[in-house]
Structure 1
C-alpha cells in the first residue's frame, strides 16, 4: 500500500498527481527524463493505459520502469483491452513489482484510436473490475482459487465524470456510491476549467469516504480549447479562458498559467488534490507547479 498517498488522503493533505504518457516505442528515456523533472514535487505519477485507444507502451511497463528508478506510480487497469485472466495476471504482476496504487478505468472507445480494426474486450465492466480487485485483496482469484503468499494491497482509485448534468449526473453519483462500496478511495474527475461548477457537485459527494481529485488539463492553444469546448461532451471551457490564450503574446506560457491557477484554486477549495494532465507537454509540468506554488 502506498503509505504516502494513503496517509495524505487520511490526513487531508493536498495530493499532486502528474500524468505521463508512456512512449509509442521501446525507448523509455524521455519518460524517465520527464519524471525526474518533478521528482519530489508530485506524490505519484499516473501512467495511462493507451489513452484514447492509441497504441503505446503499457501502463504496467511504464510504472515498473519508473518504480525501479525510485518514483511512486499509479497503474491503470483498463476494461477495454484485456479479459479477466489478463487483468488479474497484470495486477498480480503490479503488486509483485511494488506498484502501490491502481486506477480502474473503462477505457475510451476503439474508434477514438489509431487501430480501428482492434476488437474491444470489455469482459468486465468497471464495477466488476473493482470487485475483482477486492477479491484479489482477500487472497483469491475470480475463480475462487487461493492466491499463493501475500495478497495484493493496492490503494484503489477510479474515475468520475464531473461534467455530467441532469440524469447523467444522477447515474454518475449512484455509480460513485457503488465504487466507494467496492473499495475506491479516490476518484479522478474529467478535466475541469470552472472550479465553481465543481462546488455544486461536491455537495452531493461524501468526501470523507472518497477523495475527489479534479483533473487539470494543460491546453496547448486557443484552437485546442475551442475544439474541446465544442466537441468533447461534459467538458466546457469559459470563453474568457479561450480569449486569454488568443490574446497572449506568449501563448504557451498563458496555457501553463491557466493550468497553474486552476491547481491553486482547487487547493484553495480544500479539495483532496489534483491530477495534472499534460498530454505531450510533460516538460512543462514543473512550470505549472511553479505557478501553483507547489
Structure 2
C-alpha cells in the first residue's frame, strides 16, 4: 500500500528522512534505504537542508524510485524560480514520484555557500497552489499540460507554537489546506502534552499530522536542543534517562522507538523519523 492510500484510509504511515550524498556515491544511501524497505512507507529526501550543498532532492528521489523505493520529493522556495520549480515537479510526476513536500528552505547564510543568492520567487502557499494546479492539468500561466501529475502534497506546521503565534500557525495551515496540502510534518515531538494547545484546536481524524521523531545522539545534544530551539521541548526526564543509561546510544534508539509507538497510540496519521545522519539506525528504531 502506498503512502497516499495509507493516509486516505487512516493507516499509520512511517516516513524516514534520507539525506542524499554530498557527492555522486549513492551506495550508502541505497543500502540504508533497502535495509528498511517494507517498514518505511516513503523516504523523505531533503532539498539541501540547512542550506548545505549536496545532491538535489529530485536527484535522490529519482535514484531511490528507480530502485523500487517510494519517496517524498521535497521542493523549496529558496533555490528555484517558478519555471524551474514547475519543470522539476513535472519531471518527478513523469517518473511516478507522487509524493511532494513543500518547504520554504533555510537562508543560505546558515549553510556552506554563504555567497549563494536565495530566489523565493514563490512563497510557500503559492508553491502548494502551483502543485495543485499541475495536478489539475494547468501550469501557473494557465496553459494546459500534456498529461498531468497526481501529487499528494505535504508541508510543515509548527505545532509547538503557543498563544498568538499558534493562532497565526493555524491560520497559515488553513491556507495551506485550501491551497491543496494533504499532510503536515511537525517539529520533533517527545511528549504529546507539550503540544496540547495545538491538539485542542485541530481534529486528528481530519487533519493528517505526522510529528517528527528525532533520534537523539547524546544527553548533551538533548540539552542543547532544549536550550536553543524554542519549538522543541525535551522533558528533563528524557535527558536524565540518557545520561544515566549504561549504553546511551541504545537508550536514544529506544526512546525514538517508543515515541513512534506513542504517536500511533495517540491517533496521529504517522511519524516522520529523522536520524540526522544515523540512517543505519532506522531498522533498530522501527523493527
Is the shorter-chain TM-score for this pair beyond 0.5, marking a shared fold?
yes
Contact 2:7/2:269 (<8 A) preserved: yes
Following superposition, the deviation at residue 7 of structure 1 comes to: 1.8
Range with bigger deviation, 269-278 or 110-119: 110-119
Q: Does 1:55 align with 2:53?
A: yes
How far, CA to CA, are the matches of 1:66 and 1:173 in structure 2? Answer: 34
Q: Does 1:234 align with 2:223?
A: no
Following superposition, the deviation at residue 6 of structure 1 comes to: 2.0
Partner of 1:8: 6
In the alignment of these two chains, the number of paired residues is 287
Secondary structure of 1:185's match? Answer: strand
Q: Normalising to structure 1: TM-score of the pair?
A: 0.95
Q: Does 1:46 align with 2:32?
A: no
Contact 2:204/2:267 (<8 A) preserved: no
Partner of 1:125: 123
Partner of 2:106: 108
Q: Normalising to structure 2: TM-score of the pair?
A: 0.97
Q: 1:267 aligns with which of 264, 268, 273?
A: 264
How far, CA to CA, are the matches of 2:148 and 2:88 in structure 1? Answer: 14
How far, CA to CA, are the matches of 2:144 and 2:57 in structure 1? Answer: 26
Partner of 2:145: 147
Q: Which runs of 5+ in 1 are unaligned?
A: none
Partner of 1:171: 168
Q: Which runs of 5+ in 2 are unaligned?
A: none
How far, CA to CA, are the matches of 1:91 and 1:109 in structure 2? Answer: 22
How far, CA to CA, are the matches of 1:47 and 1:199 in structure 2? Answer: 29
Contact 2:98/2:149 (<8 A) preserved: no
Range with bigger deviation, 105-114 or 181-190: 105-114
For residues 240-284 of structure 1, the C-alpha deviation after alignment (integer angstroms, 9 at most, x for no partner) is: 111111111111111111111111110110111100001110000
How far, CA to CA, are the matches of 1:237 and 1:110 in structure 2? Answer: 28
Partner of 2:249: 252
For residues 11-62 of structure 1, the C-alpha deviation after alignment (integer angstroms, 9 at most, x for no partner) is: 2111111111111111111110000010000111100111111111000011
Contact 1:184/1:210 (<8 A) preserved: no
How far, CA to CA, are the matches of 1:6 and 1:208 in structure 2? Answer: 16
**Segments of 4+ moved more than 4 angstroms:** none
How far, CA to CA, are the matches of 2:257 and 2:107 in structure 1? Answer: 30
Contact 1:180/1:210 (<8 A) preserved: no
Following superposition, the deviation at residue 208 of structure 1 comes to: 4.2
How far, CA to CA, are the matches of 1:228 and 1:118 in structure 2? Answer: 27
Range with bigger deviation, 159-168 or 32-41: 159-168
How far, CA to CA, are the matches of 1:43 and 1:59 in structure 2? Answer: 17
